[in-house]
Structure formats: C-alpha cells, structure tokens
Chains A and B, each alone.
Chain A
Amino acid sequence: MDPTIQMMLQGYIDGLNSLNPSSDALKREIEDFKKELMAFGESQNDAMTFFPKFQESGLMGKYMDLSTKITLAAQAPKEDAPKEKKHIPTPAEWLEPFKTAYDYIKDLPVRERGLAVYRKLFEIGEKHTDITEFLIEVEKENLLWKICSEDTLGILSISLTGMDPLYKGLTYSVRKNIEAWMASICEADAYYLQDLLAADIMKTPPRILQPEHYVICLGAHLMVYRGPKGKEGIMEMIATGDCAKQAFMTNASNMVIAKLQARRTMDIIHKALGLTFDDIIADEFLRHKLIATSNVCGLSRAYAQSSTNILDILADTWHNEIVPDITLVEAFRREASLNFGRWRLPSDDEAERAKAIARDKYAHLPYFKYEDQLQGTIHVGTGEGFDIKLPR
C-alpha cells in the first residue's frame, strides 16, 4: 500500500480507538471496519486522488457513523457507575446558552419578535429558583418553540412589506410560509407543514405567474411595434429627413413581426386564460405588466418606467392598429390626429432618482428600515428570483 495512504488510514483507525469503545461489539465493529479500510487502501495507488475516492466509496460516511455510535454508547448510563448526586441547574444556569444567543442578536431590531420571546423567557427565569416550576411556566406559553417560530415570523412579515402586494406570484410563498409557521406548535409540525408547502409552492406559483408572464410578452411586442425599434423610429427618420433605407426597412420589418407576435400572444392569453385585452387593462396589476419597467427598490416595490400615459398609447395601438390589421401606411396616417406626446425609457440616472424617491416614500415600512439586517443563510424561495434570507 502507498505509505501516505497507509498513514491516512491509520489516522482514522487511531481516531476510532481514541473514542474508547465501551463494548466488545463496538471493538469488533472497529476491527471489521479496519479490514474494509485496508482493503480499500490496497486498491488505491495515488495519494492525490485518494480522498475523493474515499468519500465516494461511502467509507467516509461509515467512519462518521461509527464515530457517532461509539461516542453515544460512551455517553449512555452505565449500570455499574458510581452514583453521584446529580446537579440540577437553576433557571439562571439553564438560561445561560439562551443569553448567549440573545446577546448575539440583541442589536438587530429586525429580530424583535424573537427577541421579545427571549426577554419573556428571562423574565420568567428571574421569578423562579426551581427549574421545574420555571419550565412549567415556559411550557404553558410554549416559549421554547416560539423563540424559533416568532423569530421566523417576524422576518417573513418584515420581508413582505418590501414586496408589491399586488404581485401575488411574489408574495404567495411568503404568505404561505407565514401561515405554516403560525400553525405550527412544535418542530415536527414545522417539518410536516414545510413538506406540504414545498409541494404547494412547486405547484402554485407558475399558475399565478402565467397571466403576467404572457402580459409581459404582449407588452414587449407592443413596445417594439410602437417604439424606437418600430413606428416611432421610422417617424423620427422621416421627420428629421434621415432615412437610411436599411434602418428604415429593419424598423418596418420589426413592426410587422411585432404585430404578428402581439396577435399570437393575445390569442394564447385568450385561449389559455380566457382573458381579453380589455380584461388586462381593467386589472390593476396586469395592465402595468404591459409596460417595460425596472424594479428600483425593495422586492418589486417600485418601478421606473416611461411616461405616465404609456398605457393609453399601447391600448390605442392595440385597438386601432393591431386588431383592425391596418396597413403600415394607414398606421402612420393616423398620427396626424394623435397627441400622446413622445415617450422614452428611463436612463440609469433617472432610475437612481426614482429609487431615492421610492425609498423615501417607503421609509416607514419595516423592510426598508431593516433591509441591511436581513442577512443570513436560510432561504425561502419566492419563485420570482428573490430570496428572503432567514437568519439562523
């Protein structure tokens, strides 16, 4: 066997023996494992690739399992052990680890709901000297579970205030998570509800997201038809006398293609979802999805967009040019009677200004107060590219 590999394997055997296996059965298991380990070592000849292969073989996992088994067996009560007077902790002693945890997060107001449970726990601790009486009062309010559930609920509720409440595809999983945590009274409950929730979220968001996804596509086609890549680009060329044929023809082709795509997409929306264009315009959330926008703050809380009348322009385009399928020339002739003004998309600087205004407007909402504290490693997927990060 390669001497380096042999040295590494011996390290594992020594590690197991150092745990002082408490029974002959465990000692036999170590011997069996040693044989298996050595046979594996013999089959390897490259110390550089040994470790990944060791992990792949499952022997690493077996080593971990055996270590745990020996350690747990050593901790089990022994029949012949001398009887010692067991120290029963006072509430203050029992609460020490909780105080450490509290100190770790006490300066994070975003965790206030969890912190309030800790403070309640400490308050009860101060009232009692007997640990059992203390635990009775704690159990009556289920405070040990609430440390976890209230902390999580606090963060989820705060995160929700950073979201566009009309955007159900985004808020759905957070609301469902809140419902699940509110309904749970112990850890096993949480496992159960989270399993159901995982399947529910997997099933549901796409259903909710479908209409808006297609409305966004429809809006994009309308914007191409009407905008600088289509009709307005040509109008500018003609108005300024700068008609390069290739650019002109490209824009005209874009108009034709965008018109066909818009009709096709609307046909799908109607067939699949039973919605008409007017239904979309009548829906406060969906009609705004027709407009190309960029989120400027929070979790889709505020959007920088073109002019305030862009929806009127797109609706006019749909009803008077795309549905009646008038020719390109006829579409340009209409412009003499239209007075929508010209529109454009926001620049980066304008998006920054929009962000500042929105943040000021929403400054009172908890999400924006505590945004910098919403850090951690447990993620609640929202199904729309955002993650709520729950502190551990």
Chain B
Amino acid sequence: MSDTMTTKELYGLYVRRFGDCERTPYQAEYYRKWLALLEECSSNEEAEERSKENGLYTGGAAAVAMDRVVAHKQAAEHMGWNDVAEYCEDIIQKIKADPYYTFSHSGLWADLQALKDRWLRTIEGFHRLFADFLEYDDSRTDPERAVSNIAADLKRLSKPSSDFATLAAMPSFRALIDCSDEYYKEFTDTILKAATGRLEAIPWSTKDFQNEIAELWDKRDSLSSECAHWYGQEVRPVSLRLSPETEDGKYELINLD
C-alpha cells in the first residue's frame, strides 16, 4: 500500500466519524478536502506541500474551533436561545475570515458563557420565585420578607423576558413548575401581588388556642397516669437505615442496640 493509500484510509475514517456527527461539519469538510487533495497527489509529501499553498495545512485548528462553536450554536438553537446562536454564528464567520481568531480573542468563550448564563439564571430565578412563594404560603406570617425575597429574585429574570407575567404564560416556564394548574395560578397571582408590595399576613386559624393551652395546664395532674404509662415504656434503640442497591429495592432498618 502506498503512503497516500493509508493516509486516505485514515482520513476516510475521520470523514466518516465527523460526518456521522451533526456537530462536526467543519472537521468533516476539512478531511474531505484532504482526501480530494490526496487523490491528486502521488505522495504525502506532495500533498503536504500543496496544502501549504491552499491553507489546508493550517486549517485543522480552525475546523476544531468552528465545530466547537457549532456545537454550542446547535444546543442554543435547540433551546431557543437565539442571541446565543447568533453570537456563535458571528464567531464562526470570524474564524472563517481569520483561522487564528479563537487564539487571538481568548475572551470569546467567557462572553459565550455569559450569554448562556442569562438564560440559565432566568430559569434559576423562576424556580427561586416558586420557592419564595412556597415559603410564604407555608406560613403567611411574614409578608415583608416574602416581598423582599421576591423583589430580589425578579431581578434574575432576563431571557427570554424580564417580565414575570410574560414568562409565567409561556409553556416552557409552566413546565418548570410541577404543580396543579390551580396552585400555579396562586403562585403567579402571589408573585404579581408581591411585585407591587401588596402581600398580606393571613392568620392560620381563628380558634382560641390560649384557652386550650390553659386547659392543659389546669388538667395536668389528671393526666399523670397517661404520662406515667408513656414514661414507663422502654426507650427504643436508635436505628440505621441502609438504602437499597437498586431503584426498585427497599430500605433496610437495623437497630443500633
């Protein structure tokens, strides 16, 4: 086998792998061009010399970099993060114009991450708002704290919108909160009220517990036999709970005598 034959076989394998992967069009294309060049040459040395003339020789790093950006772009498109996808497309064009662009603009990856973070931060913020609502709904005794927490978390919203009502109406954000539609409405109504500083403390019960507590104190002596019965029972040992080894298993409880 001549040396171009084995090189062609190797590059053919690269073309197949990178061609099979949707994320690597530029590496697939890069090796396709090499294959085409090798077809025209009688030796690897000749192909290498000619590659220096047509830019192929230094194109590998650019192809790797562009495919990395393609991967981020496709993920952004999949998630509907249009500004991120547009930024990626812009980078791809810049690398096409200057193969060393990613090396001479080291901040581009951080800028890309910052764009992605705005979307992730909004999702996180939406969850935090639901947690704020749950905390408020669980006690309803401290509306000021809830209003303050909600105001802070509303500031986390930015992509695709910074407006809570707009986000809350979107199916993708509704899907973030696993609860009934009725409770979701309570959540969104509460956040919108809190945004205007209008949450109120709601008493849990109007029942007069002070009388009940006083009655218990007054009747404590009459409860001595019940309490002695409880107090006379053995103190049960503490235990160890071992998790199962599979998802369909059960916990095992062991007394620590």
A, B assembled together: yes
Q: Does A357 contact B (CB under 8 A)?
A: yes
Whole-angstrom CA separation of A252 from B79 in the bound complex:
53
Q: Which residues in B have their C-beta under 8 angstroms from that of A303? A: 240-241
- List which B138-191 residues lie within 8 A (CB) of chain A: 138-139, 175-180, 182-183, 186
Residue picked from A188, A191, A252, most chain B C-beta under 10 Å = A188
- Residues of chain A contacted by B97 (CB below 8 angstroms): none
A59-114 with Cβ < 8 A to chain B: 61, 64-66, 68-69, 72-73, 76-77, 79, 86
Interface size of A in residues (CB-CB distance below 8 Å)? 107
- Of chain B, the residue at the smallest CB distance from A142 is B17
Chain A residues with CB under 8 Å of B52's CB are 77, 79
Contact of A279 with B by CB under 8 A: no
Task: Determine the distance from Cα of A346 to Cα of B18 in the docked complex, in whole angstroms.
Answer: 57
- Within 8 Å CB of B134, what residues of A? 214, 268, 272
Known: A195-B71, A268-B134. A206 touches B10 (CB 8 A): no
Whether the pair B247, A165 counts as a contact (CB closer than 8 A) is: yes
Shortest A271–chain B CB gap in Å is 5
Centre residue among B6, B14, B240 by max chain A CB count within 10 A: B240
16 contacts between A and B (CB under 8 A): A69-B100, A165-B249, A166-B243, A185-B17, A186-B27, A189-B71, A195-B72, A199-B119, A239-B232, A249-B213, A271-B183, A305-B238, A308-B236, A333-B226, A335-B226, A342-B234
> Which of A133, A167, A365 has a CB less than 8 Å from the CB of B6?
A133
Measured CA separation A293–B250 after assembly (Å): 17
Partner of B10, one of A139, A191, A335, A341: A139
B42 interface hit (Cβ, 8 Å): no
Which chain A residue lies CB-closest to B8? A132
Report whether B256 and A68 are in contact in the complex, using a CB–CB cutoff of 8 Å.
no
Which has the most chain B C-beta neighbours within 10 Å: A271, A335, A344? A335
Chain B contact-residue range equals 35 or more
Query: Given the complex, which residues of A lie within 8 Å of B229, measured CB to CB?
Result: 335-336
Q: How many A-B residue pairs have CB under 8 A?
A: 282
CB pair B255 A308 closer than 8 Å: yes
Instruction: List the interface of chain A (C-beta within 8 A of B).
Output: 61, 64-66, 68-69, 72-73, 76-77, 79, 86, 130, 132-133, 135-136, 139-140, 142, 164-167, 185-193, 195-196, 198-199, 202-203, 206-207, 210, 214, 217, 232, 234-236, 238-240, 243, 245, 248-249, 252-253, 256, 260-261, 264-265, 268, 271-274, 284, 288, 293, 296, 300-309, 327-329, 332-336, 338-347, 350, 353-354, 357-358, 361-362, 365
A86 contacts across to B, CB distance below 8 A: 45, 48
Contact pick for A341, options B182, B219, B234, CB 8 Å = B234
Question: A333 touches which one: B67, B223, B233 (CB < 8 A)?
Answer: B223
Contacting residues of chain B (39-55) with chain A, CB-CB under 8 angstroms: 45, 48, 52
Given A192-B75, A268-B138, CB of A328 within 8 Å of CB of B180: no
- B244 nearest CB neighbor, chain A only: A165
Give min CB distance, B128 to chain A, whole Å: 9
- Interface set, chain B 190-214, CB cutoff 8 A to A: 204-205, 209, 212-213
Interface centre among A187, A193, A347 (most CB of B within 10 A): A187
**CB closest chain-B residue, reference A65:** B104
Residues of A within 8 Å of B9, CB to CB, are 132, 136
Select which of B71, B120, B131, B186 is within 8 A of A191 by beta carbon. Answer: B71
8 Å CB interface, B46-105 against A:
48, 52, 57-58, 64, 67-68, 70-72, 74-76, 78-79, 100, 103-105
Known: A69-B104, A327-B215, A333-B223. A342 touches B236 (CB 8 A): yes
A243 to B224, CA, bound (A): 11
CB A283 to nearest CB in B, in angstroms, measures 11
Known A165-B246, A192-B23; contact A235-B231, beta-carbon cutoff 8 A: yes
Contact among A189, A234, A271 with B182 in the assembled complex (CB-CB below 8 Å): A271
B79 touching A199, Cβ below 8 Å: yes
Whether A284 touches B238, Cβ cut-off 8 Å, given contacts A135-B10, A249-B217, A273-B179, is no
A202 cross-chain contacts in B, Cβ below 8 A: 120, 123-124
A347 to B79, CA, bound (A): 49
- Nearest-Cβ distance from residue A57 to partner chain B, whole angstroms: 13
